[in-house]
Amino acid sequence: MENLTDLLVAELKDIYSAEKQIVKALPKMVKGAASEELKAALSEHLEATKGQVTRLEEVFAHLEQKPKAKHCKGMEGLLAEGAEILEEEEAGVLRDLEMIGAAQRVEHYEVAAYGTARAIAEHLELAEVVDLLTQTFDEEEDADHKLTAVAEKLYGQVGGSEMEEEEEATAKPPARAPSTKKAMAAGSRR
């Protein structure tokens, strides 16, 4: 790399790889989700991600670069963790919540990546590129918020925590109030 434009192109190649990996991974997550709301949120984000790939291709065109991906190892790792959840956990609300956590880690990675690329484009005064990257940045934040909303609804479907259940099981019966005679005797000793 020799300048900020080279740095921006390198960032975009990484993001392009990440988005293409996500397009391949999301259908498996949709299929593995138990909650219809989670399925819908992931399906909606799959379509948005396909649009983000196209938008990145527009960004490359503005920079007079051929769209090219440089394998994003960070996204590969995040998606591998998500795949493990599908393989190791039983379908249900808890797995859905775990999948949401994995998906939100992906969203946060993307928010950071698009924020970085946008900052470089702003410094280079590439207004059209900034606008395109901002659209995707906003979509990634929106996806994160939607996943949080789905999680909030799912939390209510899970029973109490293990600590609460233990406390209930070991709770002592309420102490009985002392008899009136004992209370009066205790009071007269003072």
Phi first, then psi: what are they for 54, rounded to 5°? -60, -40
Q: Report d(CA 40, CA 29) in Å as an integer.
A: 11
Rounded to whole angstroms, how far apart are CA atoms 30 and 134? 26
> Each residue of 110-145: pLDDT tens digit?
999 999 999 999 999 999 999 999 999 999 999 999
In this structure, are residues 70 and 8 in contact, taking their beta carbons and an 8 Å threshold?
no
CA 99 to chain centre: 8
Cα separation, 1 vs 100, in Å, equals 37
Closest CA to 24 of 76, 102, 91, 100: 76
* Candidate from 72-76, 106-110, 168-172 with smallest mean pLDDT: 168-172
As given in the structure block, the two tokens for residue 158 are 């899970």
Mean pLDDT score across all residues of the chain: 89
Confirm or reject CATH 3.40.50.300 for domain 4-160, answering yes or no. Answer: no
Q: Provide the pLDDT for residue 14.
A: 98
CB 95 within 8 A of CB 85: yes
Whether pLDDT at 161 is above 60? no
CA distance 98 to 100: 5
Question: Could you tell me which residues come within 8 angstroms of residue 102 by beta carbon, excluding any fewer than 6 positions away?
Answer: 78, 81, 82, 85
| DSSP code of residue 8 | H
| pLDDT classification of 167: cutoffs 50, 70, 90 | low
- Reported as a pLDDT band with limits 50, 70 and 90, residue 159 is confident
Q: What is the pLDDT of residues 36-78, one digit of tens each?
A: 999 999 999 999 999 999 999 999 999 999 999 999 999 999 9
